[in-house]
A and B are shown apart, each in its own frame.
Chain A
């Protein structure tokens, strides 16, 4: 299957009905995946997805499209491994080409502590179902000949964890495949329909107020990204979310193949090559919480310098574009999924800088929660009440942040 033989995507748009069984707020990957899996796995199609701009216009269209499961804690490895597997079957299941490609991900260590961390990552990954092995500098050079093993003479490469299932996919295509799959089965997707309030009956959330009138719902699901705090507040739910900008950039095209993805915890950047040949590079979040989409020169300067330290060939490339997304960061760098505490209101949030890879598993598990009313074991550790119960899922080192 490729773009030349692909069927033309035909979408059915509808006027909003006055009521649905399930209303999902947020037409990004997670919202649409939840609708898709409700329709395909559970036959629940009286569902509306509300998006204030156009689908995939938020962080689903701004991420760096990396799919991986090499996390640092067992619960996260299990969850993201499920997502990696769903992504591997995504094209045959949806009958759409999303440019999914398995590439492998090198997570490079430059210090003794870093080597210990990468060895630990390989161990915990192997124990809980992800394929990751520790590799020596010589093996790194065989996998990725472009790496400067001396790290510019400052950050010598001492080893790396090599995640064999590291992959990437075209983010817009994932969003559109999910939307098309859901809409073909009867789900309504309403673009340019901002939610302005929640309809409540006592504490219970019974619908949403939108720019296009009120919509009643038996269940409202928030799949909102950076702006989730305001929506949750309408339901009376306090969230541990801080919204931070995350920047990324692409260069002009690099003539050689750069087949694997490279990340470094010490140098705080990650790089991969897009299907067009551009080098796609991202780094850490901006330190101050902000909803501003402004990109800045300081990021290009510092991130570009760090990337060139490890990958000197980047010196010959030029930056074409940079952009920013606003991320819903959770304090323990793990997502928040499940019941919110307010009846009739479920959450899938805290996707921060690691949401794209989790789209299929997040959607599948949320759909199961909605259909059965029971929290699936895979996402039970990521409930909102973990903060009150003092069992945070701290995994900052794996956020990385991509």
Chain B
């Protein structure tokens, strides 16, 4: 899949230059501290649709960026 990621420093670059970084989202409804730790460590929303995520530009400026991506079609919406 030829996905281009818009890097604020380097411009649009191919996805292979980046490393994916997820943002764990623990549901508000979880109140028990242990349950929240477990959820943060392992459980994922695994969103089918648009969600926020981070990418690290390994073979570029070596900085993190945040963007919105639709996981149904890999359409990217810059933050």
Give A residues with C-beta under 8 Å from B. Answer: 227, 229-230, 238-243, 245, 286-292, 294-299, 331, 387-388
- Secondary structure class of chain B's binding surface, majority of residues: loop
- Asked whether B71 lies within 8 Å of A291 as measured between CB atoms, the reply is yes
Chain A: CB-nearest residue to B43: A238
Interface size on B, residues (CB 8 A): 25
Number of A-B contacts (CB under 8 A): 67
**Residue from A245, A295, A296 with most neighbouring chain B CB atoms (10 Å):** A296
Bound CA–CA A240/B48 (angstroms): 15
Give B residues with C-beta under 8 Å from A. Answer: 1-3, 14-16, 19-20, 22, 27, 38-39, 41-46, 48, 53, 69, 71-74
Chain B: CB-nearest residue to A233: B45
| Contact with B71, one of A241, A287, A292, A296 (Cβ below 8 angstroms) | A292
- Asked whether B22 lies within 8 Å of A238 as measured between CB atoms, the reply is no
Known: A331-B42, A387-B42. A291 touches B48 (CB 8 A): yes
| Contact with B1, one of A227, A238, A243, A298 (Cβ below 8 angstroms) | A298
- Asked whether A242 lies within 8 Å of B46 as measured between CB atoms, the reply is yes
User: What are 22 A-to-B residue pairs whose CB atoms are below 8 Å?
Assistant: A238-B39, A239-B43, A239-B44, A239-B46, A241-B46, A242-B22, A242-B44, A243-B46, A243-B48, A245-B1, A288-B69, A289-B44, A290-B1, A290-B74, A291-B48, A296-B1, A296-B2, A298-B14, A299-B1, A331-B42, A387-B42, A388-B38
Bound CA–CA A239/B74 (angstroms): 22
Instruction: Specify which chain A residues have a CB less than 8 angstroms from the CB of B14 in the assembled complex.
Output: 298
CB distance from B68 to the nearest CB of A (A): 13
| Contact with B20, one of A288, A297, A331 (Cβ below 8 angstroms) | A288
Instruction: Specify which chain A residues have a CB less than 8 angstroms from the CB of B72 in the assembled complex.
Output: 291-292
